Structure 1
Amino acid sequence: MNIEQARFNMVEQQIRPWDVLDPKVLDLLFIVKREDFVPAAYRNLAFADMEIPLGEGQCMLAPRVEARLLQELGIRQADRVLEIGTGSGYMAALLAARAEHVTTLELRPELAAFARDNLQRAGVANVTVECADGSRGWQQRAPFDVIVLSGALPRIPAELLKQLRVGGRLAAIVGEAPVMEAQMITCVADGVYNTVNLFETVVPVLDNFAAAREFSL
């Protein structure tokens, strides 16, 4: 496989047609090597328009979904980011390339270790991987400028919204199959939030939230 040609095809045939047109985001997809975050058994599928299995029922989101969320968040250099659902560490690496620091939470110890190894090999130094249940966020480092959920959940927990700074943005895929929608929620004032629906999709539910029962919104 010609890796660079496959990467180019991913960007031009999957990602750009999904209205990902920010040149900074597109450039990142060439800089952060997706194939370095994929399990060895699936390396040849690193650029395919599909969710890559990570084991234990978890997966990497399709490239176009990751890229679109990254574009909509508009990460800034001074942003402090919380990601919930580390998976392979790839989305954390993309976020970290634009942000000051990323804290990423992974419930499963094996995946947390996999992500740490991937990030270390990639030379990403501004990401902290915590093995933790992210269903109530990460109060220890709150408030955050950006919160990203790398997977779906039925509704947004109130605890997560409270961990956004004023002006902070939260990106999540909300709902239950077969009806899910990516949303951007912005904290416009203390306790006041504006929600914009971005696109419809269906992705696996984060296991942090599979058993959670107390939600708001």
Structure 2
Amino acid sequence: MNTMDYAKARELMVEQQVRPWDVLDPRVLDTLATLPREAFVPEPHRALAYADLALPLGHGEQTMKPVVEGRALQALAVDPTDDVLEIGTGSGFLTACLGRLAREVVSLELHADLAERARAALAAQGIGNAQVVVGDAFAWTPTRRFGAILVGGAVDTIPQRFLDWLQPGGRMFVVHGRSPAMEAVLVRNDVNGTRIESLFETDLPYLVGAAPVPTFEF
């Protein structure tokens, strides 16, 4: 596939997948229309970079579908003054999108090889305000709180530790529940406590350490 094909595929992704799914934020649409998603997808799957599919990354991880990425970015309403935490770097594509939209991004990735690949892709695209850190979200402790948090894998229940990392007025996109009927939500850290807004149903692989505890039936 040549560059021209990718450019056309990117345009079609935005106009035929993302926009019809009520992603109308101009900054989000512009980011998705200009960032080369194929540069973040593993080589064997590059031809499918703009398909309505979740693509495998290794370690049982996968990308989100483009429509889910669009909805997640729109829900967070990232401001150019925001510091953002991403839990689960994956391909690094959403990291790059957040880098375009925010002041600074810290992205946490459990697997060192995925982190390294994402760093290389971010550097190649000139995204200099995103830092990829190798670490486990259930053992890592940040030195500050964040205006926005994007959780890239599903959780059975929303961990309190993630909520504690939000600044006052901060918001978090997270998918929670039991496969296959999980719920994507926006959690707001308001003056009166946390407020949860339901966004849509989807199904994502669980973050390592966040899957439901198996129940034994006798």
Q: TM-score range by the shorter chain?
A: over 0.9
Q: Which residue of 1 aligns with 2:119?
A: 116
Where does residue 197 of structure 1 map in the other structure?
A: 198
Q: Quick one: distance in 2 between partners of 1:90 and 1:187?
A: 26
Distance apart, 1:151 and its partner CA: 1.6
Separation in structure 2 between the aligned mates of residue 87 and residue 178 of structure 1, nearest angstrom:
21
Offset at 1:137? 5.8
Counterpart among 152, 160, 163 of residue 161 in structure 1: 163
- Per-residue deviation, residues 125-146 of structure 1 (Å, max 9, x unmatched): 0011100001366422x21000
SS at match of 1:134: coil
Q: Distance in 2 between matches of 1:73 and 1:119?
A: 21
Of 75, 86, 89, the match for 1:86: 89
Match of 1:170 in 2: 172
Q: Which one-letter code corresponds to 1:70 in the other structure?
A: L
Where do 5+ consecutive residues of structure 2 fail to align?
Answer: none
- Contact 1:137–1:159 at 8 Å: present in 2 too? no
Structure 2 partner of 1:143: 145
TM-score normalised over the length of structure 1: 0.93
| Residue 154 to residue 211, structure 1, CA distance change in 2 (3 Å) | closer
Q: Which residue number corresponds to residue 105 of structure 1?
A: 108
CA RMSD of aligned residues (A): 1.6
Q: State the AA in 2 paired with 1:33.
A: P
- TM normalised by structure 2 equals 0.92
Q: What count of residue pairs does the alignment treat as equivalent? A: 211
Per-residue deviation, residues 145-183 of structure 1 (Å, max 9, x unmatched): 001101211111111111111100011011110220000
Q: Greater strand share, 1 or 2?
A: 1
Identity across the alignment (%): 43
Residues 101-139 of structure 1, C-alpha deviations (whole Å, 9 max, x = no match): 000000011111111111111111001110000136642
Partner of 2:19: 16
Q: Do the aligned residues in 2 keep the contact of 1:107 with 1:208 (CA within 8 Å)?
A: no
